[in-house]
Amino acid sequence: MTKKVCISGYYGFDNFGDETILKILTENLKLISPDIEITVFSSSPEKTAKELNIKSTYTFKIPSIIKELYNTDTLISGGGSLLQDVTSIKSLIYYLGVILTAKLFGKKIIIFSQGIGPISNKILKKITFFLIKRANLITVRDDESYKLLQDNKINALKTSDPVWNLPVPQKKSKPNTLGIQLRNSKNLTENFITLFAEAINNHFGTKDIYIYSLQNKLDLEISNKLKDKILKLNPNINIQTVENTSNEKVINDITQMEELIAMRYHACLIAIKNNVKLLPVSYDIKVKNIAEEFDLEYIDLNNYSNLNKQIENFKDKEIKYNQEKIKNLLFDFELIKENL
């Protein structure tokens, strides 16, 4: 019998990390259940359907979402940090509404590789815990989420982010290169960009520098602003902004970099997995968590008084990653198979 699965997440918004998660999830679902029928709720349903060879319906076309949930066997909610209200209360209400609808229809529910919280709204926090407690399988990708659920007497499995399952591309090192990846954030100030540009020029002014915009809506303006500031300091520097490129090319580029300074969680993850020297820039607790998990010094956007020194130390420091820990972070998709 054909299994029907709906996937709900932050998909179709050209977010590098989320689209990479979705690709890995759908590929593995097809492997563990070859006759599976997958429907993804996406902001760009035609693009999602074409790229992944699955069905897709528009995220906010509520009658279609309800119809798909009524006809499905299982809802997979995730991955990523969906169940939090830092980004938006509306998005939290939406994802909870999808879970509630599936539950009312008596469907299986899988909370997939999520980061749970923070949720400051007390009512929404209670509703979140009430709903996910009734899921068939809950997997979370970080210790804080696991502890939060344990403290609220909710059984969950501490697994990992599925992007750890990406195959390692063939390494063709680009010598004398620095990759930079920034994104818009309320704690990324004009003063930080100015000081960051000065530090990059001071310590990496002779390198080839590539600034990656992984989601133009949030990254491109910041990327170009940083490039312009560095060029004003050093008009002869070899620097360029990289945008509108495929996720596969971004992943391949990161693996070839000599060094990377990055804000986005998944850019950091890919660098670690591929043994690229990394300096994370923490705008969110998930970036702080991955830095601490691998004993990496990181730039804190809320306290960057020693920014120049940190970048100087990064330039001179040799970094080695615990390869056994990386192997242990592979997501076991058999867990999903058992709960479809």
Would you list the domain boundaries of the chain? 4-159, 177-322
pLDDT greater than 80 at residue 112? yes
Class of domain 4-159: alpha beta
Query: Phi-psi category of 85—alpha, beta or left, where left has phi over 0 and alpha has psi -120 to 50?
Result: alpha
- Average pLDDT for residues 230-257, to the nearest whole number? 93
Q: pLDDT exceeding 90 applies to what percent of the chain? A: 85
Asked whether the beta carbons of 5 and 37 are under 8 A apart, the reply is yes
Query: Phi-psi category of 61—alpha, beta or left, where left has phi over 0 and alpha has psi -120 to 50?
Result: beta
Please, which pLDDT band fits residue 44 given cuts at 50, 70 and 90? very high
Class of domain 177-322: alpha beta
Give pLDDT tens digits for 113-165. Answer: 998 988 999 999 999 999 999 999 999 988 889 999 999 999 999 998 999 99
C-alpha 34/C-alpha 322 separation (Å) is 35
Write down the pLDDT at residue 142. Answer: 85
pLDDT greater than 80 at residue 172? no
C-alpha 137/C-alpha 106 separation (Å) is 15
- Token pair belonging to 133: 């407690």
How does 8-21 read in b/e, with b if 16+ C-beta sit within 10 Å? bbbbbebbbbbbbb
Write down the pLDDT at residue 168. Answer: 77
pLDDT greater than 90 at residue 304? yes
Whole-number Cα distances in Å, 105 to 23, 65, 75, 109: 27, 12, 11, 11
pTM (2 d.p.): 0.89
Helices (H), the chain: 16-32, 45-52, 62-71, 89-104, 122-132, 143-151, 190-204, 216-233, 247-256, 265-273, 285-293, 307-316, 323-328, 334-337
Write down the pLDDT at residue 171. Answer: 66
- What is the rounded average pLDDT for all residues in the chain? 94
Write down the pLDDT at residue 169. Answer: 72
Write down the pLDDT at residue 88. Answer: 87
Please, which pLDDT band fits residue 175 given cuts at 50, 70 and 90? confident
